[in-house]
Every structure is written in C-alpha cells, then in structure tokens.
Amino acid sequence: MTTKTPSKLEKILAEGHLAVTSEVGPPRGSDPKHIEEKGRLIKNHVDAINITDNQTSVTRMCSLAACIRLKLMGLEPVLQMVTRDRNRIALQSDILGAASYDIHNILCLSGDHQSFGDCANGQNVHDIDSMQLIQTVRRMRDEGKFLGGADIDRPPRMFVGAAENPFADPFEIRVPRLAKKIAAGVEFIQTQCIYNLDKFELWIKLARERGLTEKVHILAGVTPMKSVGMARYMKNRVPGMDVPDDVIKRMAGVPKEKQPQEGIDICVETIERLKAVEGVHGFHIMAIEWEEKVAEIVERAGLFPRPVVEN
Amino acid sequence: MRLSYPSSIKIIRVPCTGKVDILHILRAFEKGADGVYAVGCMEGDCHFNSGNFRARKRVEQAKKLLETVGVGGERVQMFNLSSAEGPRFAEYAREMDQRIRDLGPSPIKLAMKKAA
Amino acid sequence: MIVADKKPIEEIIQQVEAYRNVLILGCNECVTVCEAGGKKEVGILASALRMYFINNGKDMRIDEITLERQCDHEYLEEIRDRIDPYDAVVSLACGVGVQFMAEKYLSKPVYPGVNTCFLGVTEKRGLWTERCQACGQCILANTAGICPVSRCAKRILNGPCGGSSKGKCEINKDLDCAWQLIVDRLKALGRMDDYEKLFSIKDWSTDRAGGPRKVVREDVQI
C-alpha cells in the first residue's frame, strides 16, 4: 500500500500494523510544559498524538501551537480542528500554518456546541461542516488549490481523518454516514470510546459488508474509567455515549480503591477483543488527565513496542 | 337565598368568566377600583368547558402587572364555586371586602384624588 | 411569521419615564398573532404604564394607536398629522417597524416595546418556534422540507453530528435534532438514498455575512 503523505501514522497503517494513537488536552494557559510532559509520558507507546481543539468549548491553548511544540520535540502530532470557531479562511490558513511545520495529520470535527463551555454567550461560526472540511483538506493537498481556486505554494501534505460515533442516534445512518465521509475523502477514522462491544461489532460488520473497511482505516476508541462515578456520568450525561449496564455493575462491584485498576482492565480486555475484529486497524486511547496509564494499557494489550518505520 | 353580602361589591355579570379580559381588570383599577375579583365555576365544571381556566390565567397576568406598577397583586383574585353555592358566594364577597379594607384604598385612587 | 416577545415593563418604564406625552403604537400583523404587540397588548401596556406613573405622582399622557403594519409607507403615514403632541413613541412592532418608524419620523424618539426573536410558526397557542433564518438560498428541496440552517444548532449540512441522542439535540433535550427529523422524513418519502449525497459548502454571501441585503424587482417597479 502506498502512502500519499510523509505521515508516520499513514505509513504504519499502510504497512498493515495496528496503529496506536492517543490524545492530550492543552492547558488552560500558556505554559508549554504541560504539553511537553504529557508528550514525553506517552511518546514511546503511541504512533501519533492528537491535540484536542478547545474541547467541550472550554477555551484552552490552541491545538495548532501545541502540535507545533510536539513536532519540535520530534513527536508525531494529529491536529484536531473543529469548524465551530473558525471560518473557511481561518481553517485554510491554520492548515497552512500546520503544514509549514510539517504536521502531517489532521482530524476534522464539528466541535461541541459552545453552550457547553466557558463562553456560552459567544457566536459560533460553522461556516463549513466537518465533512466539507475533509473535502477542503483533500483539495488543498491533492489539487494544491485554495477553496477560492488559486494555487497553493507548497501544498499541505496531510493524512486526513475524522471522528465517527457508532453509538449516536439514529443508528440506521451511522454506516451511511461513514460512507459519506469516505466519499468526502477521509482516510482514517477514530471512533468514540467503546464500551458496548456488541453494538460496535454490529456497526463495523455493516461497514464491512459495504466494503467500507477496505477504504478507510478505522481506529477503535477506548477510554479507561477511573471510577463507577465516571462510568455513570458518561452513561447519563454525555450525549452519544453508550455505556451498558453490565459495565457499570462491574465497576460498582469492586471497592473504590480498586476501581481505577478495574477500569484499566476493562480497557485492555476491550482492545484484546477488538484486535480480532476485521476492519479494526488500530486503537485511539483517550486517557485525558490519566496519560500515565497509557503505557500500561499499550503494554498489557500486547501493542508494545511500537513498530519503527522508515521516514 | 336572600343572604347578604357587603354593599361595597359591584357585580358585573358575564356569561362566563372566560369573557373577562385582562384589559377589563386593568381598566377597572385605572378608573379607581380598590379591588377586582372574578367568580367562576369550579375547575373542571366550567359551563363552557375551559373559560374559567382562561380567566385564571388572565387574573394571574393581571396580578403580576399590578404588582409591578405598584398597585398590588393582592387586589385581584379568582374564586371558583358552583352556581348553587349561595352561602359561599357571600363568604367570598366578605373575604374580598375585608382584604381590600385591610389593604386600604388603591394608590391610584389616592393619587387621582391628590391630582384633582 | 416574525415572532416577537414582550419586553419587560420595567425596561419600557426606563425608556419613557423622562417624557410626558407617549404614544404606544401597535401592529396588526405578526406581533398580533404572537400576542406581543397587537391592539390588545397596546391596551394592556398603556393601562399598566398609566397606573405606574399615576402611582409615582407623574403626570403622563399615554395614548394608543394600532396600525395595520409598520413596514409599509402608507400605514405609517396615517399618523403623520396626529404625531405632533407626542415626545416619544413606543413601537410594539418588530425591529423592522421600529426602524421604519424612526426613519420616517426623524424628530420623534422611537423605542422598541418587544424583542424580535425569529421567523417561525405557531405550534400551538403560546408556543412559537423557529423555522427560518432567511439565508437567501433555500435548500429545503434537498433536505425533505426541514431546514438544517435554522433547526440545527450547528447548521451542519451533512449531519447529524455525534451529539444527536434519541432524536434530540445535544444542547437541549427538548430540542429536536434537525437531522433526525430529516432522516425520518427521507425515510417516509422513500428517499433514504438522498442521505448520502454530499452537500457542498454553502454560499453565505446572501446570509447576514454578506452585509445588509436587498431584493430588487424591476419588473414590478413603476
């Protein structure tokens, strides 16, 4: 399988390895050390690191700056970009900014509504949506053109990704939506974190039947739970999250001090089960504010050491 | 039944309290009424279905406005009874009469007197 | 229609308390239907204001007129020879009427008595909901008659987003997810294949973004 960009993530997937990515949330301030510390914690256990973009609409250091910092440390960033806050001029502009630092991975998202965050009274932009952003990046890369039609000097060479949520409603369009993103030009997908394995396997089976798993690399999202409280919160308060009752029961069934470990065990077991599912090409481990556990998860899941690829 | 009720009460008959508009209530106070109340059928028994529910909502609206402009929301009230309950009608009349006496004359009335 | 909601009376009192002769001007169209600025609401506001000012020892004249509309010259002209005595007007028309009033009567301060909210429908008496944001390039033919610009909180054209849950929007569980509605309707129409058509990037230049808009119809200009 050939690659279209210098992206290390793309190369690992092209060579048929199971990829491992993780994510880091930037600080609510301008101190770069948070990014540096977290990057160092996980760098040997992942192939690429996502930097979130003002997640839940809470204002943080921008993803672009944090990605540049990771790149300067010699790590492989994935620039997450939401369409909530920037119009098409700013989006294209930031893509070029990232490309000028040779950032080769981008994840195109809509973004949580601003009412969830610290500026609930602000405007939102949504000039284009996440699917149109996918098309935009592909056009900039493959045709070397701006949306307006002019040529780009040194076009971005980015591996284009998006998120998909097999657990959001309505279920019947979740596979057509994946097909739509593939038609728009997406090359890798990171899913919402998986606790309902039956539903996920159904989704990916339907995708397989349509031949979609051969057209896109799907990385299964996993998140270790720290406590039964966190599990319940995710079940009841986070839209689009599917946490089955027996997972809650399992977390509740151990004493409080043992729950973090139980959460990690569940996470590792999830990865083990998903490794056997056809169409799963890797894992996206979201352990926000618990990055120190990424190493354990990757090692116990038999995904360490990470493959080394030629640059 | 020939029961007596206070002579301070002026009765305006309507086919249903649903006919009472909030403007009727406000204009009454504008012209110097010290209190206004509506007496309608028992809830669920409105002769015309839901007129008394509408009246209640309008009385609530009037209460709020009268409170905001300084006349006092307690001066307006909705009562419900069945048309056979003569004694209760008299009782409500006495209750309202007493309440308004305790509150004193409407500030609008006082202000209009002063201006004259 | 244009849906508006009454401003709190405290706000209106603040607007007019410095004057002595005020006209409350209503409108017989949209604001009458949404019970915010029609003849009845003019009456209620005027009565309440009169009582407030009498109570506060202020000698105020507060009159009431309701016009057919406040967005056409001929109706606003009807008060040309009656407006002199007033030092201020509170217009209960939508923002359009308030402004047109201000344009036509330069020497009269005009104050808004309602908050203009959106273009919408009367779902039932006392409940009005938004349907249109006047983007200038209607796409309803491609979305089974449901508008993602006005009814999707993120105006996503290739939806739904990952926050759609049990047919409701992530921002409010009482708000329908527009894309769920679109999918349901596509199903009912037997047009689910349309779902996978990619909506291209919208031209927002005919929306607010392009600046104040106008429509010119030379074929009807004299």
Question: According to the 3-state scheme, what is the secondary structure of chain A?
Answer: CCCCCCCHHHHHHHCCCCEEEEEECCCCCCCCHHHHHHHHHHCCCCCEEEECCCHHHCCCCCHHHHHHHHHHCCCCEEEEEECCCCCHHHHHHHHHHHHHCCCCEEEEECCCCHHHCCCCCCCCCCCCCHHHHHHHHHHHHHHCECCCCCECCCCCCCEEEEEECCCCCCHHHHHHHHHHHHHHCCCEEEEEECCCHHHHHHHHHHHHHCCHHHCCEEEEEECCCCCHHHHHHHHHHCCCCCCCHHHHHHHHCCCHHHHHHHHHHHHHHHHHHHHCCCCEEEEEECCCCCHHHHHHHHHHCCCCCCCCCCC
- Asked if the Cβ–Cβ distance from C48 to B21 is below 8 Å, we say no
- Asked if the Cβ–Cβ distance from B26 to C54 is below 8 Å, we say no
Contact partners of A by the rule of 3+ C-beta pairs under 8 A? C
pLDDT tens track for C140-198: 999 999 999 999 999 999 989 988 888 999 999 899 999 999 999 999 999 999 999 99
Nearest to A20 by CA among A285, A290, A292: A285
End-to-end alpha carbon distance in chain C: 28
Q: Where are the domains of chain B?
A: 17-115
By the 10 Å C-beta count (0-12 exposed, 13-18 middle, 19+ buried), A74 is classed as exposed
Q: Are A283 and A303 in contact, with CB atoms under 8 Å apart?
A: yes
- Asked if the Cβ–Cβ distance from A240 to C164 is below 8 Å, we say yes
Residues C49 and C87 placed together within one structural domain of the fold = yes
pLDDT tens track for A166-178: 998 889 999 999 9
Question: So what's the pLDDT on residue B94?
Answer: 93
Q: Read off the DSSP letter of residue C38.
A: S
Q: Is C50 on the interface with B (CB under 8 A)?
A: yes
pLDDT tens track for A102-143: 999 999 999 999 999 999 999 999 999 999 999 999 999 999
Residues C103 and C142 placed together within one structural domain of the fold = no
- Residue A1, pLDDT > 80, answer no
Among chain A residues, the shortest Cα distance to C205 is held by: A127
pLDDT (mean) for A72-85: 97
- Residue B116, pLDDT > 80, answer no
Among chain B residues, the shortest Cα distance to C44 is held by: B23
pLDDT (mean) for A177-185: 97
Rounded distance, CA C67 to CA C77, Å? 10
Rounded distance, CA A281 to CA A220, Å? 8
pTM listed for this prediction: 0.91
By the 10 Å C-beta count (0-12 exposed, 13-18 middle, 19+ buried), B29 is classed as buried
pLDDT (mean) for A147-165: 97
Range of the domain at C170: 135-203
Q: Read off the DSSP letter of residue C141.
A: G
- Asked if the Cβ–Cβ distance from A132 to C164 is below 8 Å, we say no
Boundary (domain end) residue, out of C118, C151, C174: C118
Tell me the H-state helices in C61-208. Answer: 73-77, 95-104, 148-151, 178-188
Residues C91 and C144 placed together within one structural domain of the fold = no
Find chain C residues with C-beta within 8 A of B27's C-beta: 47
Q: Are C35 and B22 in contact, with CB atoms under 8 Å apart?
A: no
Residues C101 and C160 placed together within one structural domain of the fold = no
pLDDT (mean) for A242-268: 95
Rounded distance, CA C183 to CA A172, Å? 9
Answer whether residue C199 is part of any domain: yes
Boundary (domain end) residue, out of C92, C118, C144: C118
Rounded distance, CA A47 to CA A77, Å? 9
By the 10 Å C-beta count (0-12 exposed, 13-18 middle, 19+ buried), A230 is classed as middle
pLDDT (mean) for A30-52: 96
- pLDDT tier for residue A98 given thresholds of 50, 70 and 90: very high
- Residue B64, pLDDT > 90, answer yes
Residues C101 and C143 placed together within one structural domain of the fold = no
Number of domains in chain C: 2
Question: So what's the pLDDT on residue A311?
Answer: 65
Residues C87 and C145 placed together within one structural domain of the fold = no
A-interface mutation test, from C139, C155, C156, C186, most A Cβ less than 10 A away:
C156
pLDDT tens track for B81-114: 988 888 999 999 999 999 999 999 999 998 888 8
Chains C and B touch (3+ CB pairs under 8 A): yes
Answer whether residue C214 is part of any domain: no
Answer whether residue C76 is part of any domain: yes
User: Percentage of residues in chain A with pLDDT exceeding 90?
Assistant: 95
Q: At C94, which CATH number?
A: 3.40.50.2300
